[in-house]
Amino acid sequence: MKIGLQVPNFTWPGGPTNIATKLAEIATAADEAGFASLWVMDHFFQIGGRNPQSGLGPAEDEMLEGYSVLSYLAGITKKVKLGTMVTGVIYRYPGLLAKIVTTLDVLSGGRAYLGIGAA
């Protein structure tokens, strides 16, 4: 069995200025602990909802662009595979998406996953 870690929320103590540091801590710990994969969401805003159980937070909460985050994670990890859960097919032109993911795959040493969903 392989275990992956999803990071669905970037709202942490210290506010936006602490996101890079906290994300690096989480990714490094996951990589060193032997997690097989590390995932982020491909949303432009946090998944909100009227019911607290239906979402992860209000739309105003911090949310980073998925492939920029994965590129950052590729530079600070060594083994963990990287992906979005899942890429919204309507968010990027197909040719650009193919180039983004293949670039991530090359620069990460073959650690990129690509999953496409309807969004």
CATH number of the domain residue 14 falls in: 3.20.20.30
Specify the pTM. Answer: 0.91
For 86, the token pair is 């899942």
- pLDDT one digit per residue (tens) for the chain, 119 residues: 999 999 999 999 999 999 999 999 999 999 999 999 999 999 988 887 655 565 678 888 899 999 999 999 999 999 999 999 999 999 999 999 999 999 999 999 999 999 999 88
Q: What are phi and psi of 13, to 5 degrees?
A: -55, 140
For 51, the token pair is 């019911």
CA angle in degrees (0–180, nearest 5) for 33-11-49: 115
Domain count along the chain: 1
Treating both helix axes as pointing N-terminal to C-terminal, what angle do 19-33 and 66-76 enclose, rounded to 10 degrees?
A: 60
Hey, how many other C-beta atoms are within 10 angstroms of the C-beta on 21? Answer: 11
Query: What residues make up the domain containing 11?
Result: 4-117
